[in-house]
A and B are shown apart, each in its own frame.
Chain A
Amino acid sequence: MSEKGKKESPEQIEFREYCREWLSKNTPGDPPVRLPQMAIEITTQAEMDYLVPWQKAAWEAGLCGADYPKAYGGGGRTGCQLIANEEMQRVGTPYFPNVIALGMAAPTILHHGSEELKKRFIPKILSCEEIWCQGFSEPDAGSDLASVQTFAERAGDNWVINGQKIWTSLATFSSWMIILCRTDRSVKHKGLTYFIVPIESYIGKGIEVRPLIKITGETGFNEVFLTDLEIPDKYRLDDVGNGWSVAMTTLIHERGAGPMVTPSAGGRRADDAPGNAMDLIDLARQSERNGRPAAEDPVIRDRMIELIIRQKGFRQSIRRVRVKGLVDNPMRIGLQGKLLFTEIAQEVSALALEIEGAASTLFMNDENAPNKGQWPLMYLNSYGMTIAAGTSEVLRNILGERVLGMPKTK
């Protein structure tokens, strides 16, 4: 596919040249440790020690935060983050570790924060000096996010917060957290207020972080307990009672459909990304079924090709979404992104297990495990992807309601 889109601005064209030039000299070397498939799964300091300097270097060069205003540490450009993302994906750089900050906290602060907060927080997000986590989900509030109960009580110029958050990715590395709290119990959506709260500097002083073990056996997300945590009112985003609309800004960016393009090094080229259906072909050549290569089994072939086609269609939809005349409603494809990416990846890894056959029982540590147990690991992890950031079911509700206009489920 050509990179020279017809309608690229002179700024974009020049910036693309610049990105190529910079990346030709500054792509980080191979990681010293095996990196997890996605940034929210980062669990060790060694992984962070490799990834944080990379994001910082990309920020200094202007490839991370290109479209953010200069006053907030960005590049002050227009439509250029997309270019940087494409170029980083092209050369296959590692992902940025500060994903929640870049994808959710920064755009939310940009849209709803005071000037002071924007100046204080956005630069350190872009440079990766401060890592962020997202305190939305609670034990009793998942898909029904507006039912959160963690309570923020006004105390003069401060707020005192009590409650518990759960499934909090990256909390053990985080300096800050975006948090959705209840400030009024008598109303549901209108009783919510959105804050930012310190994590690292308040451990033991109102904050406790307890790691949870994932389905894979790895640590990943955490529980965060807030006990009489006192924060100043200036850490509130937007008005008291307006937390739900602020949370919507966060979620729309989380699902990749927000106005700010998230700085994303992507990790790998599209063809090389985890869950690439084309990888199944080689796997099927190496695996056997009834004494013959699985690649010669007509059923396996049909199912591999079916997934390859769907994945190709998904990528072509991402191409189509920017073409005027070929999209009646840009939300229609934008809101499918997370759903399709994760469901296809899940089906690809499920089929990989079938192709591996008996060998798919061998996990990461087994010396005989094909591909170092990558596929069973990926299959297990794929459920994290179809649950996190809006379950597939909730996303289908949203597509049906917001794009097709069908009546709300609730």
Chain B
Amino acid sequence: MTQPKDFGFGVEEQLLQTEARKFFKKQLDELTLMELVGGNSDPHRDSECLWDEKMWEQMADLGWTTMAVPEAFGGTGMSGVAVASFIEETGRVALPSPLMATVNSSYVLSACGTDEADSVLKEIAGDKTAGLAITNQKGSWCSMDTDVSAVVTEDKATLNGMAWFVQDARKVDLFLVKAESEAGIGLYAVSADAPGVTILPDSIVDLTRDQARVNFEGVAIGADKIVAAPGKGNLALDAAEPAILTMISADMCGAAEWQLQTTVAYAKTRMQFERPIGFFQAVKHPVVNMMIMIDCARSLVFNAACAIDHEPEQAKAAAHMAKAAASDMAAFCSGRSVQYHGGMGFTWECFVHLFFKRQIHNQVLFGDAAYHRAELAEMLIGPLVAGG
């Protein structure tokens, strides 16, 4: 298969992007965001879960929360490039929401291809939110890694163990849990309020997200909630991985563009030595480098999104490229955005830390730059012989 030159980014996608930009600009300017998530600066504060549920309802009414659910199951079923550009807009305002978690879950469920998964997709289409509970204590979601086990019988499964680093855990209605049983890795849909499920919130750096450990203690679910049978779970996760990596990279591009524009605006107005600081090349050139890195990552994001839509055999490599570029880019842009705001940038009061912290979170989520380069090296160069 081949990709269309224009990434498949046509009139419809443009319309959605414009609408989304308008919506978020109106609903969530920086001050509103600060009031929403920045109220408590105490580093020892209790873990919080701050988001605007009313806005989420509006987004649901607009069909935005089901964009990765195929139309056949009642979602709005948008293309990968449309979802990527929408998520980019949410990154631009550092939106606290279960969108990414729900979109990721939708991709995983679609990849399962089972009746059980399809019926969960229908639940999402009916405005349920979902999140992935697939990571172990070491932060890995690769191959057999999971700290949750499953005992599967004829008509039910019982889960025990802990899922770590679960994103937006307190914002979602259900989890897709990666668990190991005798027959291998399976995926299980578990309601967040099911008996035996305990959410243990993490205290995290990022103010725009919530994260938790989710403990499963003898959690029993019906066979109709086994969305990928034991032995099939990793196939579904693998198939959804390109989309997951692409969407988080899109979020990072949006956030970084905010950092760029905000830093440029400051560099144009902040006067020192009788000049705006943007006059100095020690400021100007790295700011240009921010732009260059954003453009590179952004182009790779749309390349990966288009591959998901049109050239699935290329999607994995393209997604590794996007996430590697986006993670490095985010680190650089975040650092520069704080540095060039000077002392002001070092304060809680200044908005830049909200995006800075979201990016720190994004950089490592689902693998950092070095990890994705190593993965890509395996694909392009061949395996690195261990211990050799």
Contacts and interface: CB of A to CB of B under 8 A. Distances in A.
Contacts of B303: 312, 316, 319
B300 A309 contact: yes
Interface centre among B5, B281, B299 (most CB of A within 10 A): B299
Interface string B367-378: 000100110110
Given A298-B384, A396-B288, A409 B4 contact: no
A237 B325 CA distance: 45
Interface of B: 2-7, 9-10, 13-14, 17, 85, 260, 264, 267-268, 275-276, 278-279, 281, 283-285, 287-289, 291-292, 295-300, 302-303, 321, 324-325, 370, 373-374, 376-377, 380-382, 384-385, 388
A171 B184 CA distance: 72
B168 to A, nearest CB: 28
A406 B299 contact: no
A314 interface: yes
A12 interface: no
Contact of A316 (B6, B268, B299, B385): B299
A325 to B, nearest CB: 4
B284 A316 contact: no
Contacts of A210: none
A305 B6 contact: no
Contact of B388 (A296, A405, A407): A296
Contacts of B370: 302
A313 B296 contact: yes
Contact of A5 (B4, B283, B324, B376): B4
Given A309-B321, A326-B302, A396 B295 contact: no
A17 interface: no
B239 to A, nearest CB: 23
A399 B300 CA distance: 21
B284 A397 contact: yes
Contacts of B374: 298, 301-302, 305
B382 A295 contact: yes
Task: Give chain B's interface secondary structure class.
Answer: helix
Given A308-B380, A309-B321, A323-B7, A1 B302 contact: no
A361 to B, nearest CB: 25
A289 to B, nearest CB: 12
A301 B300 contact: no
Contacts, number: 159
A406 B9 contact: no
A316 B283 CA distance: 27
A407 B303 CA distance: 34
Given A319-B299, A320-B299, A336 B292 contact: yes
Given A1-B2, A302-B373, A332 B284 contact: no
B7 A320 contact: yes
A5 B5 contact: yes
Interface of A: 1-7, 278, 281, 284-285, 292, 295-296, 298, 301-302, 304-306, 308-310, 312-314, 316-317, 319-320, 322-326, 332-333, 336, 339-340, 393, 396-397, 399-401, 403-409
Given A316-B303, A326-B9, A407-B268, A333 B373 contact: no
Contact of A3 (B5, B14, B276, B299): B5
Task: Give chain A's interface secondary structure class.
Answer: helix
Nearest to B7: A323
Contacts of A310: 296, 325
Contacts of B376: 305, 308-309
A4 B264 CA distance: 38
Contacts of B283: 406
Instruction: Name the 8 nearest CB pairs between A and B, nearest first.
Output: A313-B296, A406-B278, A316-B299, A325-B14, A5-B5, A2-B2, A400-B284, A317-B299
Nearest to B1: A2
B172 to A, nearest CB: 31
Given A397-B281, A403-B291, A312 B321 contact: yes
Contacts of A281: 380-381
Contacts of A284: 381
Contact of B285 (A302, A313, A324, A393): A393
A1 B295 contact: no
A306 B329 CA distance: 12
A406 B279 contact: yes
Given A281-B380, A296-B385, A6 B10 contact: yes
Nearest to B297: A313
Nearest to B16: A325
Nearest to A325: B14
Contacts of A309: 300, 321, 324-325, 373, 376
Contacts of A339: 292
Contacts of A399: 288, 291-292
Contacts of A7: 6
B382 A406 contact: no
Given A7-B6, A302-B377, A336-B292, A312 B278 contact: no
Interface centre among A308, A322, A323 (most CB of B within 10 A): A323
Contact of A317 (B5, B295, B385): B295
Nearest to B376: A305
A241 B268 CA distance: 32
A326 to B, nearest CB: 6
Contacts of B10: 6
A332 B7 contact: no
Nearest to A395: B288
Given A309-B373, A326-B9, A301 B381 contact: yes
B295 A336 contact: yes
B291 A332 contact: yes
Contacts of A397: 281, 284-285
B300 A313 contact: yes
Interface centre among B276, B300, B382 (most CB of A within 10 A): B300
A405 B264 contact: yes
B359 to A, nearest CB: 18
Nearest to A284: B381
Contacts of B296: 310, 313-314, 317
A323 B384 contact: no
Contacts of A324: 14
7 contacts: A6-B6, A281-B381, A309-B300, A313-B296, A323-B7, A406-B267, A406-B278
Contacts of B285: 393, 396-397, 400
B4 A6 contact: yes
Contacts of A278: 380
Nearest to B300: A313
A2 B5 contact: yes
B377 A301 contact: yes
B9 A323 contact: yes
Nearest to A278: B380
B254 to A, nearest CB: 13
A223 B144 CA distance: 68
Contacts of A314: 296, 299
Contacts of A319: 5, 7, 299, 303
B292 A340 contact: yes
Given A317-B299, A407-B279, 8 more contacts: A3-B5, A6-B10, A306-B324, A313-B295, A313-B297, A319-B5, A336-B295, A404-B278
